[in-house]
Structure 1
Amino acid sequence: MQSTFYFLDIFLADFFSCSKKVSFCLFFKVFKIIGIFGVGILYFSPAPSQAQTNTNVLWASEVIDFSSEYFDENNPTQHTAKQVLGKPNVLPAIWQSPCAWSPARPEARQDEWIHVGFEKAIFVKQIAIAESFGAGAISAIILYDTEDKGHLIYKNQRTEPASTQGKMFNLFLKKKTTYQVKSVKIKLNTIDVGGWNNIDAIGISESEIPIKAEINITADIPFNRVERLPQTVNSPYSEILPVISPDGKTLFFDRKNHPKNTPSISAGKENDDVWFSRHISDTVWSEAERLNEPVNNNQHNYVCSVTPDGNVILLANAYLPSGKMDQGASISYKTIDGSWSYPEPLKIKDFYNTDKYAEICLSPNRKVLIMAIRREDTFGSRDLYVSFLQKDNSWSVPKNMGAMLNSAASEITPTLSSDNKTLYFASNGRSGYGSFDMYVSRRLDDTWTNWSEPLNLGNVLNSAGWDAGYSIDASGEYAYFASSKHSNKTTASELDIYRAKLHVEVRPDPILLISGTVYNSKTKEPIGAKIFYEMLPSGENAGTAQAEPQTGNYKIALPPNSNYGFLAKSRGFVSVSENIDATGNEVYKEIKRDLYLTPIEVGQKIRLNNVFFEQGTANFLTESYPELDRLVIFMLENPTITIEVEGHTDLEGIPTMNMKLSALRVKAIQDYLVKEKIDKKRIETRPYGSTNPITRKRDEESKKLNRRVEFKILSY
C-alpha cells in the first residue's frame, strides 16, 4: 500500500475479523422477531477498562458539505450526513446502521466525501474516524485551519477492504499541528472498497491516547446472574413482553402460537394471547394461565402495563364495541367476580401510528402514557412519545420526547418506573452489544423532553441477540425481560423471559408502596372504591388507583420528595383522608394503611385527618386547604346537610387553655366554610379541648391520635 504520511504512525484498531462481505441489501432484509423488525449485526466487546475515556475529544458538531447522502422518502432522517455528528452511536457494534452517514450509492464514483466542523478550533494530535461499515475506504484526510486553508495530512492511493467490516480509524500526527483545526474533510474511495460505506463519527483530539468507541455504561456494575424463569412460565413457545405487577407477585406476558390461544383471525398469521403467572416464593412460579375473553380475542393481545394495585391493566390496541381492533390502547378493570371488564379504548387526541407495531406504557399514577410509535416528526423508525391525561379523561396529542432518547433507528418497549422519572427502553440506535439493547434514562424536569443520556444496562442483561420488553417491580430489585440469550428455542426469533437483580446504580429512586383495604367505617365491611392521592400543600392530583371490588384491597406507589394526602371515594359515602410524608425517603418501604368511607347518615362522624394548624394556634397550615375544600364541596353537593364541627387537643397543657384553643380552631373551620358560601346556620361548632381523648397514653403517637378535628352529620 503506497501512502504519503505526515505523521509518525497510523493506529488501526481491528477488534475482530469478518471475512464475509455484506451488501447493503442485507440491511433491508429484515427478520421478524416478536413483531419487531431487526437486522443482521456483527458484535464485539467495548473498549477495555484501561482505554481513555473520550472526555478530551471534540466530535463533529456541524456538517459543512458532502458529496451525497442516501435518501429514503419513507425514512428521510436515516443514513443522512447529519448522522455523522456527535460521538459514535454505532461502534463498537458493526452494522449498516441508519445512525451513520452513507453515500447515496455503493461504488458510485471514486471520491465520496464529507466536510464537518467542530464547536471550537484546537491544535490536533489525533484524528479518529468511526467506520461502522465498509471499512478501509478512507483515501484522504484534510484539516482546515481558522483561515479555511486546507492541509492534506493523509493520502492513501491504494485503498482496500479492511480486515474487519468496521473499526475506529485512528490517525496520529508526528506532533501537534502548528495551526488550530476548525474542520475536517475526509474522502472515500468507494470503488476499491465496494458495497456501502458508513461513517459513524469524526473526532479530533490533542491527546496521544487512542480514541475508542465506547458503550455508555457505568463501569463495573455488578449484576447477579441472569435467571431464566422456570418451565411454569417459559414453554416451548415464545414468551415475550413481560409485565410484572409493582408488588412483584403477578407476571403478565405475551405467549405466541400456543394451542390454547384464541384461533387467529387470519389463517397463517401469528397469534398472541395474554397469560399470567403468580410468584409463589424465591424461584417458584405458578403454572401460567391464559386470561379469558374479552381480554384475549382472535387478534394480537398483550398487556402493556399493570397498576400498583393490580386491578387495572393497559392493553395494546383499541378494543372496539364490534369486537374488532384498531390502533391505540385500552383499559380493563378487575370486576367483582375476579374477571376482567371489556377493555375501554383510550381517547388519545390526534393519535396515529404509521408503523405496524407499537408499545405503550401507563405510568403507575395513571396520568402519563409513553408510546413507541411512528409519526410525521419521528427521528427514525419508531420514537418514544408522551401523552398526558386531561381533565375530561382524554389524552393529549402525543409529543416527541426528544433527541436525547430518540435516534434515527428504533426505540421500543418503554417502561416508566414507580418513581415517575426513571425510564427503561430498548433501542438499536446507540452503541451497544446486540440488535436491540436495553437502556435507562432519568427525567430531568417536567417538560418530559429533557432526559439524561441513556445508560446501557450492560452485557449481563444485554446480549448479542435481541433484548427488550423490560419491566421492574416497585422496589426496583428485579428486572424482567425477554431475550434470545441462552434460549433453548429452535430459532433466533423465539424468546424466553428472564430476570436479574439490579444494582442500585440503575434502579429507580426508592418509593413508598402504600397498601391496605377500604372499609365502610360503620359496618367494617370492605368496599370497592376509587383511590385518589394528592401532593400537599398544593393539592395537585398526584394519581389515582382502584380498590378491588370484592376485597377492597388497594395499592399506590408514592415517589419520594413530597408530602401526600390520599383517600377513597364512593357514591353515598364521605371520605376519611390519610396523609404520609415521603420527603427525604431514601429506601424502598411497604406501608400498610387502611382507608375508611363513612356512610352519609345522621350521627356519623368523619375525622378530618388532613387539617393541620400551627402549633398552639388556630392558624391553618397550607397543607390543610385541600381537605377544607373537599368539605366545602361536600356541603355544596349536599345542600340539606347540617354538621357539627368538633375540636380536640391532646392531654398536655392546661385544660382551660386547651378548651380555648379547640374553640378557636373549630371557629376557624366554620369561618372558612362561610367564606366559601356555606350558610353559617348549617355549621355548628363544639370544642372539647382535652376532655374527650381517644387514649390516655402520653407517647407521641397517642398525642397525634387525640389531636383531631371531626364533623358529625346532624341532619340529612
Structure 2
Amino acid sequence: MGMNRYFRLLIFLFFTVVLFSCGAGKMGRDALLSHEIGEYYKAIEKYRKASRKEKDRVKRREYAYAIAECYHYIGDYERAALYYRNAIRRGYGDPAALLDLAEMLRSAQDYEEAIETYRMYLDTIPGDERARAGLEAIRKTQEWVANPSRHIVNPIKEINSRESDYAPVFVGGRDNEVIFTSSRKASTGKKESMITGQDYTDLFRATFSIQRQKWEQPQLLDENFVINTGEEEGAATLSPTGEQMIFTRCRYDKSQALGAELYSTSQSRGSWSDPIKVQVVGDSLIAAHPALSYDGSELYFVSDMPGGFGGKDIWKAEKVGGAYANPVNLGEAINTPGDEMFPFSRDNGELYFSSNYHMGMGGLDIFRAVKNDDGTWTVENMGYPVNSPSDDFGIAYVEGENKGMFTSNRKGSRGDDLYEFVVPPKIFRVDGEVFDKETGNRIDGANVRIIGTDGTSLRLRTQDGKFQMKLQPETEYIFAAFKDGYLRDKASANTIGLEDSKDFRFELFLTPTDAPIKLDNINYEFGSWELLPQSKSSLDTLVATLMLNPTITIEIMSHTDHVGSDQFNFELSQKRAQSVVDYLIEKGISPQRLVAKGYGETWPKAVTRDQARQYDFLKRGDELTEEFILKLTEEQQETARAINRRTEFRVLSTDFIERFDAEPER
C-alpha cells in the first residue's frame, strides 16, 4: 500500500532542493531526473553510483531512501525494505520512512518485525489510519490464509518465461487461446526498459493443444510490426468475438518516456489493421490497461489525470458514435489515494481490478466489485490463494465459466508469471438409509419422497434400504420415507449458503404399526396424572409424528405397575392417558384422531430386544407379570416395575379423513 501521492511529491521536491542547494554532482541530478519521470530501474543504478562517490553522510542517507522508493515502485519489496532500513539506520528523520518500511516488511511476510515497526511509527504519529490499517491487514491476511477460498491456483509452466509475463486476456472468451504481455527474449523491442530493467514488452499469443493437453510455445501476436513495434506494447482487451483489440503502447523519444496510450486495431482473416490511437484522454495524459465491457459499450482504463483520488485511478468512457468519450472516475468505492490498475469487466457485469491501498495481503491485491441497484459498488478482496503478500494483478475470466488466469510474482515465481485458477463446482450429495426401528434391519422397497424449494418433487424406492441423489445449490430439501405398515420418518438437507461441497448422510427409522409404540420419558408427579415439564418435549415428538402421518388415528395407552389396588391403578392410568390426549389437542391434533385408554396393571410389558441388551437379567420376550417380578432381587424388581410404568400408543387406523360438521341452518 503506497503513501499518499501528494505527500511523496513533497518529499521528492524537498530532496531535489537539498541536493541542488548542496551542489550535488551530475550523477545525483541525473538520478533525480530519472526518478521524476518514472525510470525507476535506471534511477536505482544512478543513485548507487552517486552514493558510492558521495562523502556527505546526509546525501548518502537521502540516496538510500530514494533507492528504497524506486524499489518500492517496481515491486521489489524485499530490496525496498533493505534500503528503507538503511536510510532509517543512517538517521533519516521523516517518520514516514517507518511506515514505508512496515509496509515492505508486511509484503515480504516478515510480520513480526512489521508489527513492531508499525507500532514504532504509531508512537510517533498516534492514531495514523494507514498504520492501523496495516496492522489490521496482517490480521486479515492470517484469517484469509486460514480460511482459503475454493480457488485452485497453479502456475502455467509452459507459458511462463524467465522474464515478465502478465495481463492475460482470452480470445473470444474461450479457454484455449490467450493473448498476454511479455518481455521474453522473443520480443521485438530489444531495448532495456528504464522502469523495470527488462526488455521492452510485446503481445504474445498462446494456444492450448487438446491432443497434448498442454499449452503450446507462445508466439508473437504480430511479426509484421503492425502491433508489436520497437516501442512497448501490452495490457490488451478484446471484444467478445476477438475481432477488435485495444491495447497499451508506451512510446519513447530519445530514451525519454512519452507516456502510455491506448490503440485500437481489428483483425480480419488473421491480419491486424494499423492501430489507431484511442482519443479517450488529452495528448499529455496517460491512459493504460484497457478493459472493454462485455457488450463493448464501456471502456475502462487507468490514468493519473486530474480529478482522481491520488495515484493511478480507474476511469470509464462511454461509447458514443463509434468512439469512447467523456471519461468519468469510478469513484471512491473503487479508487483510493493509492494505485488501482488492471481492470477486467466480466461477462456477468462484475468488475475486477488490483489495488495497493484497499485492505489486502501486501503489494497489489485483486478485488471484485459488484454494482448495486443504486449504482454504487461493493468491493471485496478475493482472498487467499488468489492473492498473496506479493503483487497479484491482471485477472481474466473465461466467458461463462468460473476459471481463468491472473498474474503474480509470489514466492516460487521467476518474476511476473501467469497463473491459472479454477473454482471447482460445488457438489452436494445425499446418501440415505431406511431402517425398521424395531428390528434395526434396512427396509428394501421403502418409498422416499423428496421436495425441494427449487421445485424438486421426486419419489425414490430404496434398494436394500439405501438411496442416493445429487442436490442443487441454494436449495432446502425435505426427505420423507414411508411404507405400508410403518409410520413415516423424515429428514432435511439444506445447501443454502454452503461455500464448499458436502455429502449429507442420514438414517430414517420407520416404526412398525403392528405393535404398541412406547413413548420415552413420559413422566408424572408421584401418584398423579399431572405431566412433568420434561415429558412435554417427548410429546412434541409425537405431535410431529402425527403431523407427518396425517391419516392415522391412535390410542394413547397408559400402564401402571402392580403396586396398589386394581381400581386405583385403572383410574390413575385412564387419567394419565387423558392428560396426554389433552396435551396433543392443545398442540392442534384433531380429537377425532385420539383415544385415551388406561390399562392399569393388566398389560404387563413384554421385554424388547433393546431392553434385553440393557438389562442382563432380562431376555427378549419375558413378560413382566407380578409373578415374574417377585422372583427378582429388590433392585431388579424396581427396574422391572419402572418398565411396566409406561405410556404407549398404537395405530388404530391408517385411513383417517378429517370430518367437519356442517353449520346448522338458521
For the aligned pair, the TM-score class normalised by the smaller chain equals: 0.3 to 0.5
Greater strand proportion = 1
TM-score (norm 2): 0.44
Choose 1 or 2 for highest CA Rg: 2
